[in-house]
Structure 1
Amino acid sequence: MRLLPGTLRGRVTLVAAVGATGVLVICLIVLFVTLNQQLWSALDAGLRSRAGDLSASVRAGDLAELSGDPIAQLYAPDGRLLSGSVSVRGRLLAPSEVRQVRGTVLTTRSVTLGSGVGRAPVRLMSQRVMPDGRVLTVGVSAEPVHAARDRLALVLFVAAPPLIGLLALAAWTVVRTALRPVAALTREASEISSLEAERRLPEAPGDDEIARLARTLNDMLARLQVAAARERAFVDDASHELRTPIAILRGELELALGAGGAEHEVRHSLLAALGEADRLSRLAEDLLLLARARAGSLIVRIEPVDLLDLAAAEAGRLGSLYMLRTEVSGDPVVADADPDRLRQVLANLVANSASAGARTVRVEVRDGREHITLQVADDGPGFPSGLLTAAFARFTRGDDARTRSASGAGLGLSIVHAVVAAHRGTVSARNGEPLGGAVVTARLPRD
């Protein structure tokens, strides 16, 4: 069974009502106690005044005023009753109580009074009359105080529930007014669809929590719009890259089927089709790698790797493949990394240099205090000026890269970035020294 309301408005209202009820109850209790003390203080003040007058009469030997007082008695030091009011039946204090009086003693008890009154609550003040040490006890009826206290308790008990209800209603109204912009944001957000990526939520005026929430949600929508635009561009670019080799593959196969008995033509067409099939396979693997990196599931198998030896071996192989002059230098350093992924990084960077027209590629390995640096530089034309900021984006190539003669699909540097990021490293691109062309620097953490 749910004890709390299901809505935030209901829960906040309940908490506010409970808190206000607690504060109200405490205030009413403090008010009751304070007024009760004030009533008793006023009663005691009257008793002190009467006791002072009667003490002066007793010291003067005038006991007639004592006999005419409504409630008063005089006791000897040993507890014997010497004189008292004719309206009081019996003793106000027992002998043992008389002997225990030191200074001024205030008590409240039920006393039997004459004239048909019967027993009634009485406030008593007892004090010794010097110099003989007799004890004078003066009393006053406590019924007015009890009656006033009971009426006050009744008034507070009757007034408390309406006050609590008003406080709960006020809390509900305040919370409803405060959360009205949130309800508007909720309705507006529920109406935004993927076809209205540019639509934004209404921003509340001011700089309170609701206004900041609206601005934060609009910023999130803007980021989602940019991400959706990038994904659409990715799908468009992938479709473009896949369309070309598929068309070529289909054309070569149709040519092979129509070649009839010309064996060399059939062989040529099948070899061309095989090349395009390999290109499709590489593109599919690259797209899968990027998808895994984006999902955070790109697996790197960490083991000790001599980076200088790996760079020298891979540079020699790639130089022969792309007809490039390769140079390898740096510090012999062993890093914890995935050797296959690092070979993939070097292969993509060298292939990128070869496609740009470079003739020399220099690979440099440096051992730093916090990072191990792997730098690949070439003597080609470098990155276009407008491409440096987006060099590692997917399907990013130069303006003439989408011609038929362009090699690659614009995924090489994206894969480099994904692999280095999977090693918890960073990668950057620039133009210039040491060979005057493109320079790509990967930094891997030492641990």
Structure 2
Amino acid sequence: MRLVPTSLRGRLALVFGLGTSVVLLIALSLLYVALDRQLDGAVDADLAGRGDDLVASVRAHDLAAVAGDPMAQLYAPDGTPIATSAAITGRTLLTPAQASAVDRTTLTTGSLALRADGAPLRVRLLSRPVDDSGRVLTVALPLAAVDQAGSRQLIVLAVATPALIVLLGALGWLLLRAALRPVDLLTREAAAISTLDSDRRLPAVPGDDEIARLAATLGSMLSRLSVAFARERAFVDDASHELRTPVAVLRGELDLALAAVDDPEEVRRSLLAARGQAIKLGRLAEDLLLLARERAGALLVQREPVDVTDLARSEARALGPVTGLDLDVRGDPVIVEADAVRLRQVLTNLAANSAAAGATAVRVTVSLERDLLRLEWADDGPGFPPGLLDTAFERFVRGDAARGAATGAGLGLGLSIVRAVVTAHDGSAHLTNGPPLGGAVVTVLLPAS
């Protein structure tokens, strides 16, 4: 049988109950000891007061005071009784040897045969010298009433302790149940959220305690996961859409080629068109693979000294005729440790982005700012829509008609690849609109050699 509860509430209740029981037992035990000592102190104080009064009377030669005391006896120096209380006539509190041995005030407890039937009686004795004559006075007090009071206290504590333990345990259980009720609610709500695309969210817990902060943290985490899930799903949807068109065209061209096997020229045109679509599909697959590697942190770059200004000029000569852009490269030679192939890919995608936006002129400025290489790509197109500046680097982001297809190869991945490559080089990329040509401005920062 399992002794320790499996639930947190049960374990906390068990620990609370055990701890409370231990503390309560210790507290009640100390209370009993304190009460017992208080009773003993009251007895000793009563004996001391009676002894002082009787000593004063004996010194005044009033032995009748000893006879009138409830339980007292005066002894001669040889230990024989001189005066005895009427209640214990014929009996002695101390033996002659004990009385002769008293040289200072002493308190003792013992059992004496003082009852009428000869049964022993527990008494508390105070013995003290009366004066220098050697006489000794002893006063006694029966402890039956004190013992009965102590027994009653013990019985009360023995009965009250279990009841208090049960009461405190029940109170602790109720308090834990109330404190952990938000946790049960959060658990049920979390179990009811089946997928990240659900609109359900964890309920807010009032207050500013640990559970409330946990609920807020979990709610924020679900919101972030939901946003990430929505982005991934949109990426899959967009990728599927982009793949569907070239695949459909490719199938159509192949069907045309098969239907025109007797017309070599028609077959040639269809195969050329099919090859173009296959190249487009290959480029898309490579772009998707590059982004997947970048997200996994596995995008490798082959670093070697590269003159970025010279590389930009050579790429401008190659990209100008292809894109129809007037590319103007400015700047002094700047050497960085970078992957030349990847940097060409960055420039190619930026050129395709500007051309798709309708730009006609591009100014590329390369400069060195402290320890950073700054490459600024500015065109004279319509620029990025204001609502797109913060998200243009995301995959398959669509803007307005002017820049709806402003991405590498028209696939919606160009700027995403730019950021991925720049990030792999430990750099950063930023988007703005405005000078020097009034259109879009893409700024790339890379660590300089």
Which band: TM-score by shorter chain?
A: 0.7 to 0.9
Contact preservation (8 Å) 1:300, 1:338: no
TM-score by length of 2: 0.81
Alpha-carbon separation, structure 2, partners of 1:441 and 1:431 = 11
Identify the residue that residue 241 of structure 1 maps to in structure 2: 242
8 Å CA contact 1:72–1:136 kept in 2: the answer is: yes
Q: State TM-score, norm by structure 1.
A: 0.81
What are the Cα deviations for residues 264-289 of structure 1, in whole angstroms up to 9, with x where unaligned?
44334323322221221221222233
CA distance in 2, matches of 1:446, 1:26: 73
- Deviation for aligned residue 1:392: 0.9
The answer to whether the Cα contact below 8 Å between 2:427 and 2:445 also exists between their aligned partners in 1 is yes
In the alignment, is residue 388 of structure 1 matched against residue 389 of structure 2? Answer: yes
Whichever residue aligns with residue 275 of structure 1, its letter is G
* Structure 1 contact 9–175 (Cα < 8 Å) conserved: yes
Distance, in Å, in 2 between the alignment partners of 1:426 and 1:147 is 89
Whole-Å separation in 1 of the counterparts to 2:407 and 2:102:
124
1:303-356 deviation per Cα after TM superposition (whole angstroms, max 9, x unaligned):
5x545x145325523541343534253674555x66654454344334323433
Deviating more after overlay: 321-330 vs 10-19? 321-330
Alignment match, 1:379: 379
Q: CA RMSD in A?
A: 3.7
Within a 5 Å distance, the mapping from 1:43-442 to structure 2 comes to: 43-66=43-66, 69=69, 71-72=71-72, 81=79, 83=81, 85=84, 86-88=90-92, 90-91=94-95, 94=98, 98-99=102-103, 101=104, 105=106, 107-115=107-115, 116-130=117-131, 136-194=137-195, 197-203=198-204, 214=215, 216-294=217-295, 296-301=296-301, 303=303, 305-306=304-305, 309-310=307-308, 312-313=310-311, 315-323=313-321, 324-329=326-331, 332=334, 334=336, 341-356=342-357, 357-368=359-370, 372-381=372-381, 382-400=383-401, 407-422=409-424, 425-442=427-444
**2: distance between equivalents of 1:414 and 1:428?**
12
Cα separation, 1, equivalents of 2:24 and 2:385 = 74
Distance 2:29 2:96 in 1: 33
Task: For 1:96 and 1:366, locate their aligned partners in 2 and report how far apart those are by CA, in whole Å.
Answer: 113
**1:340-375 Cα deviation digits (max 9, x unpaired):** 544543443343234333433414243436xx2433
Query: Structure 1 137/8 Cα, relative in aligned 2: closer, same or farther at 3 Å?
Result: same
Distance 1:118 1:174 in 2: 56
Deviation at 1:230, TM superposition (A): 2.4
- CA contact under 8 A between 1:318 and 1:347: conserved in structure 2? no
Contact 1:362 1:376 in 2 (8 A): yes
Post-superposition Cα deviations, 1:374-424, rounded to whole Å, max 9, x if no partner, equal 333223313233321221111124434667999331111112233444555
Q: Say if 1:361 and 1:161 are closer, same or farther in 2 by CA, change over 3 A.
A: same
- Residue ranges of structure 2 left out of the alignment (5+ in a row): 85-89
1: CA distance, partners of 2:341 / 2:78: 115
Task: State how far apart, in whole Å, the 2-side matches of 1:7 and 1:96 are.
Answer: 72
Q: Would the alpha carbon gap of residues 18 and 373 (structure 1) be closer, same or farther in structure 2, given more than 3 Å must change?
A: farther
State which drifts further: 29-38 or 129-138. 129-138
- Cα 1:387–1:145, aligned 2, differ >3 Å: closer, same or farther? same
- Secondary structure (helix, strand or coil) at the match of 2:409 reads coil
1:285 maps to a residue whose letter is: E
Q: Give the aligned residue type for 2:440.
A: A
2:6 aligned with 1:6: yes
Pair 1:60–1:384, CA change in 2 (3 A): same
Q: Secondary structure at the match of 2:386?
A: coil
Say if 1:388 and 1:429, in contact at 8 Å, map to a contact too: yes
- Give the Cα separation in 2 of the matches to 1:405 and 1:39: 96
Q: Which residue matches 2:34?
A: 34
User: Taking structure 1 as reference, are residues 230 and 351 closer, same or farther at Cα in structure 2, changes over 3 Å only?
Assistant: same
The size of the alignment, in residue pairs, is: 435
Instruction: Name the structure 1 match of 2:87.
Output: none
Kept after mapping to 2: 8 A contact 1:361/1:379: yes
Distance 1:164 1:32, change over 3 A: same
Secondary structure at 2:444's aligned position in 1? strand
* Structure 1 residue 429, shift from structure 2 partner: 0.6
Instruction: Render the CA deviation track for 1:239-280: whole Å, top value 9, x for unaligned.
Output: 221111112222222233233254444334323322221221
Question: 1-side partners of 2:426 and 2:405: how far apart?
Answer: 35
| Equivalent position amino acid for 1:418 in 2 | A
Q: 1:114 to 1:22 in 2, by over 3 A?
A: closer
**How far does the alpha carbon of each residue in 1:37-82 deviate from its partner, in whole angstroms, 9 at most, with x for none?**
2212221221122111111123223445446645545578xx8535
1:375–1:439 contact (8 Å) kept in structure 2: no
Q: 1:19 and 2:23 equivalent?
A: no
In the alignment, is the contact (CA less than 8 A) between 1:92 and 1:137 conserved in 2?
no
Shift of 1:158: 2.3
Percent identity between the two aligned chains = 49
Gaps of 5+ in 1: none
Distance 1:329 1:128, change over 3 A: farther
- Which stretch has the larger CA shift, 420-429 or 271-280? 420-429
